[in-house]
Structure 1
């Protein structure tokens, strides 16, 4: 059975993105294990000159490295991902490179109509950066709009169409994980490129 990380893309304690990942964790427990990862306790990124990373960052990177894939669920603030998620990705690409060639599925929940569509587009761009080099599942979006009304009292999604779409995407992601994890020939080179990349040298 595959082991996935469900990265909660916000530091909010009441986020519906956390609820969405909890639903995925529960609903697909027969198909994969999903371990939720919080970023709310990550310190503010300060680019330490000696490259010494906080233990919470090292532990998160090790879990991502060992996982078969990662699901990131992001809200949308001002048409963008939250500062806390950018902060987490800054840490997770500073002298550590757990996302290089890592299969990633993006989901998102928002209170409004668009369901974090702009934030998801921005997140794709960030994950494709030279320092991260993740393998993002193409042609897939799960946009949970009006998320405050989307869950029942037991944290289940109410809308059967949404459940059906999420089920299809999740199962496609498991196939995508298998495919990506066979593409290992260039992994060493990709990781080396990420390690050696510097905007100052361009």
Structure 2
């Protein structure tokens, strides 16, 4: 059974993206152990001069590093991911590199019809940056539209097509995790390149 980490990609206390990840944790309990974590308690990124990282950041980085794969569910604000998610990823690529070669599944929920499609594209671009170097599962958009109406009173998805699509994508992700975790020949070099990268020097 795979040990996965699910990051709620917002600091909102009422996000349907949190509901989606909690649903996945329960729905896939026989296939994977999924820990849902929050980013709302992380301090604002300020690039500390002495590279000392806050304990909350180190704790989250340790969880990412220890997981076999990461799921990130993001809402969409102004065609982009929330500032709180960017903040978390800024911390997680500052002198620590837990996302290098880490298999990641990107998904999202939104109140409207687009299901955070632009935010997911934005997040994929960020995760592909030289400092993060994550392995994002391709061709795997999961766009939960009209998310306020998507769950029943027990927190379960109501639409059979939504469930069927998520089931298929999650099965694919487990395979992607298995394959990705065997592709480690260049891992140390990839981490070294991430550590040595500097926008100031380019």
Task: Normalising by structure 2, report the TM-score.
Answer: 1.00
Classify the secondary structure of the residue corresponding to 2:192. Answer: helix
Runs of 4+ in 1 over 3 A off after TM superposition: none
* Root mean square deviation of aligned Cα: 0.3
User: Does residue 150 of structure 1 match 2:147?
Assistant: no
Alpha-carbon distance in 2 for matches of 1:184, 1:147: 37
Alpha-carbon distance in 1 for matches of 2:178, 2:33: 15
Alpha-carbon distance in 2 for matches of 1:107, 1:163: 13
Q: Equivalent residue for 1:40?
A: 40
Q: Offset of 1:77 from its aligned partner? A: 0.4
Deviations, residues 5-33 of structure 1 (Å, cap 9, x unaligned) = 00000000000000000000000000000
Q: Offset of 1:119 from its aligned partner? A: 0.2
Classify the secondary structure of the residue corresponding to 1:170. Answer: helix
1:175-194 matched pairs, under 5 angstroms:
175-194=175-194
Alpha-carbon distance in 1 for matches of 2:141, 2:23: 17
Deviations, residues 93-120 of structure 1 (Å, cap 9, x unaligned) = 0000000000000010000000000000
Classify the secondary structure of the residue corresponding to 1:30. Answer: coil
Q: Equivalent residue for 1:63?
A: 63
Q: 5+ residue gaps in structure 2?
A: none
Q: Offset of 1:81 from its aligned partner? A: 0.3
Q: 5+ residue gaps in structure 1?
A: none
Classify the secondary structure of the residue corresponding to 1:33. Answer: strand
Q: Offset of 1:80 from its aligned partner? A: 0.5
Q: Offset of 1:135 from its aligned partner? A: 0.1
Classify the secondary structure of the residue corresponding to 2:151. Answer: coil
Q: Offset of 1:51 from its aligned partner? A: 0.4
Q: Equivalent residue for 1:85?
A: 85
Alpha-carbon distance in 2 for matches of 1:80, 1:200: 25
Q: Offset of 1:175 from its aligned partner? A: 0.2
Q: Equivalent residue for 1:107?
A: 107
Q: Offset of 1:197 from its aligned partner? A: 0.1
Q: Offset of 1:176 from its aligned partner? A: 0.2
Q: Offset of 1:188 from its aligned partner? A: 0.4
User: Does residue 137 of structure 1 match 2:137?
Assistant: yes
Q: Equivalent residue for 1:165?
A: 165
Q: Equivalent residue for 2:8?
A: 8
Q: Offset of 1:83 from its aligned partner? A: 0.3
Task: Normalising by structure 1, report the TM-score.
Answer: 1.00
